[in-house]
Amino acid sequence: MKLVGIYRQIALTMMAMAVGITLLVVITSYVLYYLWQKYWPNYFPDEDYMQTGPEWVWLILTTMIALALATAVASHISRRILAPLKSVTDSIKKVAGGDLSARAIADKNAPLEAFYLANDFNLLVEKLQQATDEQAFWNAAIAHELRTPVTILRGRLQALAEGVFQPDERQFRSLLVQVESLSQLIEDLRVVSLDESGHLSINSQKTDISAEVQFLIDSMAGVFEKTNQHITLDIQTKSIYCDTLKIRQAMLALLENATKHANPGCILIKTSMENGAFILSIEDEGPGISDTFQPFLFTAFRRAPSAQGHGSGLGLAVVAAIARAHGGKATYARNARNGSSFTIAIPQPT
């Protein structure tokens, strides 16, 4: 109804302009004749000049023609303006009804402002649809990742309750492993979610990074032994400013990633300073990451096809989130041994 009102307003405005212009011409002509006769009578025609019948017919016809042209022009302009606006209005109703596939018609022949309005509306709906799809994907992925440890815990506890298993130390340690896995998953989800919302904060303090690296190596010694991997250290920088717990979480994620996906052999851990930034890199001996999957390396819940079933798909996303929270970044490259080289760069105060 509002669009129809705008159309009528444009048409009536154009018609009023046509009538006004016609009246202006007539009135000013009488004023001209009056001034002419009063101040320049010698140049005024001798006979008493009056508007004749044909002249009045001419004035009426020209007025009608002007009204017709004004109506036609108003109709054309209204269609050009209102078509994209009506398209946006109809699309808004569809979006409000839950149809995120609705798009407005961005006609390039429409006025520039109307075209930009329709185009910006389409971009907004696309962003909304993308956010909705990502939210649905996250909900499904989180449910999938939580299902495994919860199912195992439920099964073990039910078996203990029914007397199938004896409540010995081995069973309790097995339950503890699942609880720790669940706790780590929840913490990873928390870090990634806070990073997505821009609320991941850090508490920087002076940290002995060499001690943190050694602590993780010692705690994962049994894992490295099972995977036939050994650690080589190249520690050039020993003390930095960072959030100790989060950097430990990021390094742990990188080391766990290497134990799950890298070939047996050497894992090289290097620390250094470059251009005022602390550089931590962890390298392995292959097989590396395919070129097609590299753009998705640091995206949550994305796994390479060859890595299905290994981990939650959050580890590298956590690494990137923690690096960003420190004002730095996480990157990947192939090393000279055709393996993976993951690097965290964190700016340091001057």
Q: State which amino acid sits at residue 343.
A: T
CA distance 175 to 151: 11
CATH fold of 130-197:
Helix Hairpins (1.10.287)
As a whole-number percent, the residues of the chain with pLDDT over 90 amount to 9
Per-residue pLDDT, 1: 39
Per-residue pLDDT, 103: 82
Confidence of residue 53 (pLDDT cuts 50, 70, 90): low
Q: State which amino acid sits at residue 302.
A: R
Mean pLDDT of the chain: 78
Beta carbons within 8 Å of 282's beta carbon, 6+ residues apart: 251, 254, 255, 258, 267, 268, 269, 270, 341, 342
Per-residue pLDDT, 334: 87
**DSSP summary character for residue 263:** P
Q: Provide the residue ranges of all domains of the chain, joining segments of one domain with +.
A: 2-102, 130-197, 205-347
Q: Is the pLDDT of residue 48 over 60?
A: no
> Mean pLDDT lowest for which of 88-102, 139-153, 230-244?
139-153
Q: Is the pLDDT of residue 4 over 50?
A: no
Per-residue pLDDT, 343: 93
242: nearest Cα among 198, 208, 200? 208
Confidence of residue 342 (pLDDT cuts 50, 70, 90): very high
* Tens-place pLDDT, residues 72-117: 776 776 666 777 777 788 888 888 887 878 888 776 666 677 777 7
The listed CATH number (3.30.70.270, 3.30.565.10, 3.40.50.2000, 3.30.450.20) that belongs to domain 205-347 = 3.30.565.10
Q: Is the pLDDT of residue 125 over 90?
A: no
* Tens-place pLDDT, residues 54-65: 556 666 776 677
Helix axes 169-197, 112-161, angle to 10 degrees: 170
Q: Is the pLDDT of residue 37 over 80?
A: no
